[in-house]
Amino acid sequence: MPDTVVIRNIARENARDHAAELADLWTRTFFDAYKDVHSPENIETYTRENLTVEAAHDWLAKPGIRCAIAERNGAPVGYCMVRYIDSPIMLPGPSAELKQIYILASEYGRGTGRALFEHARARVLGTGRSWMWLFVADNNDRAKAFYEGLDFARFSKGPVFHVGTDKLPSSLMARAL
């Protein structure tokens, strides 16, 4: 089907080849997720300082990081990143962090986020881990509802995220696999 989402893994060895693509997706999806929360100046400052090609390469090249990109009709529309690190709070089994799932606004409600989650879940299960956890900004209602719909539950407070001059408290959410 021409309108199906396809998910492709990015290999660590090919980090340099995909860094620009990921940095572009980071910036576009971050804007879509937060344009109603942060000022354009704060978004611009955050993306300029954090969502660069160099930062994308560094993340993709790290051991213990796995990234996948979702495509629709051959164009990248979202991504997910998993970090194989145990939760900062004790969970009853080994875990991995669902570092990020971001999709373009045009993909909201189309199943792309769920497809990326299921892809990440399968990869984590394949490593023998029994939990996934993540941090989510407390004011990101769309993301919180998405994760709650996937059976994630709040376990504790998370760090404060900084976006330009904005400071966002967060929560740690987790779910058994």
End-to-end Cα, the chain, rounded Å: 30
pLDDT band at 15; cut points 50, 70, 90: confident
The predicted structure's pLDDT at residue 1: 54
**What pTM did the predictor assign?**
0.93
Q: What percent of the chain has pLDDT over 70?
A: 99
Domains of the chain, CATH where assigned: 5-134 (3.40.630.30)
- pLDDT tens digits for 50-105? 999 999 999 999 999 999 999 999 999 999 999 999 999 999 999 999 999 999 99
The DSSP code sequence of 35-49 is TTTS-HHHHHHHHHH
